[in-house]
Structure 1
Amino acid sequence: MGREFMHIFDEWADTYQDAVSGQQIEYRSVFEHYEEILDAVADRVSGKTIEFGVGTGNLFEKLLNKQIDVIGIEPNERMLEIAKSRFPNTKMVDGDFLNFPKTENVHNIVSSYAFHHLTDDEKSQAFELYHHLLVDDGEVIFADTLFKDDTHHQRAIDDAKEKGFSNLAQDLMREYYTTLPKMEDIITKAGFQVSFKQLNDFVWLIHAKK
Structure 2
Amino acid sequence: MMKSYEYYDRIAYMYDEMYNNKKWLTLRKAVEHYMDKTINMKNAKVLDVGSGTGYWLEYFLNKDFSVYALEPSAKMIEFAKEKFKDKVKYFNTTIENFDTYDKFDVLNIQGDVLSYVEDLDLVMKKLSNIINKDGLLFATVDSYYYMRKLVKKYGSRREMEIFEKYHITTVGSQYGVFNSRCFTLEDIKDLEKYGFQVLEIRGCGYSNNLEEEIEKSYNIVLGEHIYFSLRYLK
* Percent identical residues: 17
Could you tell me how far 1:156 is from its partner in structure 2? 2.7
Which entry has the higher C-alpha Rg, 1 or 2? 2
Could you tell me how far 1:58 is from its partner in structure 2? 0.7
Q: Can you list the C-alpha shifts for 1:22-62, whole angstroms capped at 9, x where unaligned? A: 2xxxxx76x36233145146524441111111101111111
Equivalent of residue 28 in structure 2, options 16, 19, 35? 35
Could you tell me how far 1:12 is from its partner in structure 2? 1.9
CA contact (8 A) 1:20 1:34 kept: no
Give the aligned partner of residue 4 of structure 2.
Answer: 5
CA contact (8 A) 1:42 1:62 kept: no
Q: How many residues align?
A: 189
> Normalising by structure 1, what TM-score?
0.78
Could you tell me how far 1:86 is from its partner in structure 2? 0.6
Give the aligned partner of residue 154 of structure 1.
Answer: 148
Deviates more, 1:173-182 or 1:106-115: 173-182
Give the aligned partner of residue 73 of structure 1.
Answer: 70
Deviates more, 1:95-104 or 1:75-84: 95-104
Give the aligned partner of residue 191 of structure 1.
Answer: 195
For residue 116 of structure 1, what is the amino acid of its counterpart?
S
Give the aligned partner of residue 182 of structure 1.
Answer: 187
Equivalent of residue 88 in structure 1, options 78, 85, 100? 85
Compared with structure 1, are the counterparts of its residues 20 and 179 closer, same or farther at alpha carbon in structure 2 (3 Å cutoff)?
A: same
Could you tell me how far 1:160 is from its partner in structure 2? 7.2
Distance 2:32 2:225 in 1: 13
Distance 2:34 2:54 in 1: 14
- In the alignment, is residue 142 of structure 1 matched against residue 139 of structure 2? yes
> Normalising by structure 2, what TM-score?
0.71
Q: Can you list the C-alpha shifts for 1:96-147, whole angstroms capped at 9, x where unaligned? A: 122214142411110211221113xx22221222222211111211123222
Distance 1:144 1:37 in 2: 15
Compared with structure 1, are the counterparts of its residues 75 and 154 closer, same or farther at alpha carbon in structure 2 (3 Å cutoff)?
A: same
Structure 2 unaligned spans of 5+ = 156-168, 206-222
Could you tell me how far 1:207 is from its partner in structure 2? 0.8
Distance 1:58 1:160 in 2: 32
CA RMSD of aligned residues (A): 2.6
CA contact (8 A) 1:73 1:96 kept: yes
Partner secondary structure for residue 171 of structure 2: helix
Give the aligned partner of residue 171 of structure 1.
Answer: 171
Point out 4+ residue stretches in structure 1 off by more than 6 angstroms.
none
Compared with structure 1, are the counterparts of its residues 155 and 54 closer, same or farther at alpha carbon in structure 2 (3 Å cutoff)?
A: same
- In the alignment, is residue 109 of structure 1 matched against residue 107 of structure 2? yes
- In the alignment, is residue 53 of structure 1 matched against residue 50 of structure 2? yes
Compared with structure 1, are the counterparts of its residues 92 and 134 closer, same or farther at alpha carbon in structure 2 (3 Å cutoff)?
A: same
Compared with structure 1, are the counterparts of its residues 124 and 96 closer, same or farther at alpha carbon in structure 2 (3 Å cutoff)?
A: same
